[in-house]
C-alpha cells in the first residue's frame, strides 16, 4: 500500500487483473483457469495411454511410439496360446495374475508380447493410432540409389545401443554416428518361443508377398533386417504404434 497515493503497489504475481491488489476477483480468475490445457499435444511429448506415458518421436513426418507398447488388459501363461483369441504375454512372468503382472520389470522396459489375433482385432493402440503397417516400416528404412528400402545394416538407425552390446562392438566409426538415429530405441527383447538378444515385430496387414503372418526381425548375429514369412499366428511379438495421418 502506498500511503502517498492511497493505492496498492502492483508487486504480486497473483494480481491477475492488475488492479494492484490480490483480492477475491484474482482468486476467481485463477479457479476459472484451473485445469485448462496449456497447449495442444505435440509429437515428441509423452503420450498417455492406459496408465503409461510413452515417449514419442517424429520419423519421416509420422509420429511413432519410441518404446514398445505396454498395454496389458489381461495376461496369459506362456502355455496358453491361441490363434482365434487375443493373448498377452510378458517375457518375465508366466502367470495369470494381472496385479502381479503390472509390477513386472519387463512390462516397463520391453512391453507386452501380443499374438496375431490381438494385433489385428483388439484395440491395443490409442484412439487415432494404429499398429505399424508394412509401409510404415518401409518408409523409415534407409534407401538405396533407386529409392528402394535397404535391409542390409538397416538395424543401425533403429536399435538402442545399450540393448545390443555385441552388435555395437562390430560397428565402425561411421556406423556409430548413425546408431539409433531414428530414436526408436529398439530393444533386444525376443518374441515368445524365440531366443534372447532378438527383436521382432509384426504389422497389421495379413498378407504380404503372398505370405500370411509376415514379420520382421533383428538378431544379435548381424545388423540386417530379416523379413520372415509363415509365422505361426499363435506366436507373439512386441509392437509399436504410429499416429494416423
User: What average pLDDT does the segment 178-185 reach?
Assistant: 92
User: What average pLDDT does the segment 2-29 reach?
Assistant: 63
User: What average pLDDT does the segment 209-235 reach?
Assistant: 63
Specify the pLDDT at position 2. 64
Assign 5 a pLDDT band (cuts: 50, 70, 90).
low
**Phi then psi dihedrals of residue 166, to 5 deg:** -65, -40
Q: How far apart are CA 131 and CA 202, in angstroms?
A: 9
Q: Could you write out the three-class secondary structure of 77-100? A: CCCCCCCCCCCEEECCECCCCHHH
Specify the pLDDT at position 198. 45
Most confident stretch, 24-33, 60-69, 193-202: 60-69
pTM to 2 decimals? 0.74
Q: Is the pLDDT of residue 206 over 90?
A: no
Specify the pLDDT at position 91. 85
**DSSP secondary structure of 38-84:** SS---BTB-EEETTEEE-EEEETTEEEESS-----S----TT---SS
The residue assigned the cell 508380447 is 113
Q: In the numeric block, which cell numbers belong to residue 38? A: 496449456
Assign 204 a pLDDT band (cuts: 50, 70, 90).
very low
Q: Is the pLDDT of residue 39 over 50?
A: yes
Q: How far apart are CA 35 and CA 114, in angstroms?
A: 36
The residue assigned the cell 496369459 is 76
Tens of pLDDT, residues 129-177: 998 877 888 888 888 878 887 888 888 888 888 888 877 888 889 889 9
Q: Is the pLDDT of residue 74 over 50?
A: yes
Closest CA to 70 of 16, 121, 110: 110
Tens of pLDDT, residues 85-121: 999 999 889 999 999 999 999 898 889 988 888 887 8
Specify the pLDDT at position 133. 79
Q: In the numeric block, which cell numbers belong to residue 208? A: 504380404
Higher pLDDT, 25 or 58: 58
Q: Is the pLDDT of residue 203 over 60?
A: no
Closest CA to 73 of 29, 25, 123, 26: 123
Local structure of 198: helix, strand or coil: strand
Task: Give yes or no for a contact between 197 and 220, defined as CB atoms under 8 angstroms apart.
Answer: yes
Average pLDDT, the chain: 78
Amino acid at each position: 500500500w502506498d500511503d502517498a497515493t492511497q493505492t496498492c503497489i502492483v508487486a504480486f504475481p497473483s494480481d491477475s487483473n492488475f488492479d494492484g491488489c490480490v483480492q477475491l476477483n484474482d482468486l476467481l480468475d485463477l479457479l476459472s483457469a484451473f485445469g485448462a490445457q496449456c497447449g495442444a499435444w505435440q509429437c515428441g511429448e509423452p503420450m498417455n495411454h492406459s496408465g503409461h506415458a510413452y515417449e514419442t518421436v517424429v520419423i519421416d513426418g509420422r509420429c511413432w511410439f519410441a518404446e514398445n507398447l505396454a498395454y496389458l488388459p489381461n495376461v496369459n501363461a506362456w502355455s496358453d496360446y491361441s490363434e482365434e483369441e487375443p493373448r498377452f504375454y510378458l517375457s518375465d512372468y508366466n502367470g495369470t495374475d494381472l496385479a502381479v503382472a503390472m509390477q513386472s520389470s519387463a512390462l516397463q522396459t520391453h512391453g507386452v508380447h501380443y499374438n496375431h489375433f490381438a494385433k489385428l482385432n483388439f484395440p491395443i493402440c490409442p484412439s487415432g493410432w494404429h499398429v505399424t503397417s508394412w509401409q510404415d516400416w518401409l518408409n523409415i528404412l534407409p534407401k538405396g540409389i533407386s529409392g528402394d528400402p535397404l535391409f542390409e545394416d538397416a538395424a543401425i538407425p533403429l536399435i538402442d545401443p545399450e540393448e545390443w552390446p555385441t552388435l555395437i562392438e562390430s560397428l565402425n566409426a561411421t556406423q556409430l554416428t548413425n546408431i539409433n538415429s531414428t530414436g526408436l530405441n529398439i530393444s533386444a527383447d525376443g518374441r515368445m518361443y524365440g531366443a534372447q538378444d532378438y527383436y521382432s515385430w509384426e504389422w497389421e496387414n495379413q498378407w504380404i508377398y503372398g505370405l500370411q503372418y509376415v514379420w520382421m526381425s533383428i538378431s544379435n548375429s548381424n545388423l540386417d533386417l530379416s523379413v520372415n514369412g509363415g509365422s505361426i499366428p499363435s506366436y507373439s511379438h512386441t509392437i509399436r504404434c504410429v499416429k494416423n495421418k
